[in-house]
């Protein structure tokens, strides 16, 4: 069976996991797939803000676990498409409120009703991470192109292997071609070689992203957003389509190593 349940993780906080989760879920929902995004960051939920659904939450994942309501009743319907739903995290609990077996049970109850399920993992490699990864068919590891983030991503990859999960695929987020060209940021080839993972996407730094998050509007809906285009491409690759990697332009030309690594695509 094709992968249906994706966990987006990183180890390190602040690399853009929630933003990527919300955008990938939105991109696939806009293509007609029925998608649910699960915020597993108990106590520090942000996925509702990214999707612009923070004012519509009545129940959360802990209410489901405690038997207050079934999973379907806790789902918040997206304002923009009939196909996207959010299962929010609890804001007043901690990560111990949701055990791996709890999330597995919830995901299994939703699996046959949705085409895709995306789980937004909390930062760190402790209990919350293990819970988020437990039901996943596939794992997407997000890293920024700097060494501390890459080291955390490598640690997460090893933990996934120890848990018997498939090898994660890699998303490099917030890559700035000008900084790469100036030697102030690692390039794509360096990151891929260090981690040894299959690359599924490179999301460039985008001045539109902060405004999108503040508006609760995923970047995949914004035509002028270069990050939105990169995220739409990742969604296509999740569907198994061969999509060329974008040519990311620095101030004075294309980055030669992108061309070298991806055969000019």
Eight-state DSSP code of residue 134:
T
- Written as one string, the DSSP assignment of 10-46 is -SSTTSSHHHHHHHHHHHHHHTT--EEEEE--TTS--
Q: Does 228 count as an annotated binding residue?
A: no
Q: Does 12 count as an annotated binding residue?
A: yes
Q: Does 32 count as an annotated binding residue?
A: no
Q: Does 18 count as an annotated binding residue?
A: yes
* Residue of 207, 152, 200, 199 whose CA lies nearest to 174: 207
Eight-state DSSP code of residue 203:
E
Q: Does 9 count as an annotated binding residue?
A: no
Q: How far apart are the first and last CA of the chain?
A: 30
Distance of alpha carbon 86 from alpha carbon 45, whole angstroms: 12
Q: Does 16 count as an annotated binding residue?
A: yes
**Binding residue positions for ATP:** 12-19
**Residues making up the binding site:** 12-19
């Amino acid at each position: 069976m094709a992968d249906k349940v994706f966990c987006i993780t990183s180890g390190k906080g602040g690399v853009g996991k929630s933003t990527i989760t919300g955008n990938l879920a939105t991109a696939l929902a806009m293509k007609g797939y029925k998608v649910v995004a699960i915020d597993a960051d108990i106590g520090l939920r942000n996925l509702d803000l990214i999707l612009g659904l923070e004012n519509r939450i009545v129940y959360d994942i802990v209410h489901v676990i405690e038997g207050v309501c079934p999973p379907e009743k806790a789902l918040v319907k997206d304002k923009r498409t009939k196909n996207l739903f959010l299962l929010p995290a609890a804001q007043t609990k901690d990560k111990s409120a949701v055990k791996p077996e709890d999330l597995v049970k919830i995901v299994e109850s939703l699996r046959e009703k949705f085409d895709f399920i995306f789980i937004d993992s909390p930062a760190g490699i402790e209990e919350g991470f293990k819970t988020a990864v437990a039901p996943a068919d596939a794992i997407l590891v997000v890293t920024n192109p700097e060494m501390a983030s890459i080291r955390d991503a490598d640690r997460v990859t090893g933990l996934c292997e120890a848990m018997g999960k498939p090898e994660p695929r890699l998303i490099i987020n917030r890559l700035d071609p000008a900084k790469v060209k100036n030697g102030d940021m690692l390039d794509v080839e360096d990151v891929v070689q260090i981690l040894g993972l299959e690359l599924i996407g490179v999301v460039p730094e985008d001045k539109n992203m902060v405004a999108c998050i503040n508006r609760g509007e995923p970047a995949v809906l914004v035509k002028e957003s270069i990050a939105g285009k990169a995220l739409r491409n990742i969604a296509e690759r999740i569907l198994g389509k061969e999509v060329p990697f974008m040519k990311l332009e620095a101030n004075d030309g294309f980055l030669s190593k992108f061309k070298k690594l991806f055969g000019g695509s």
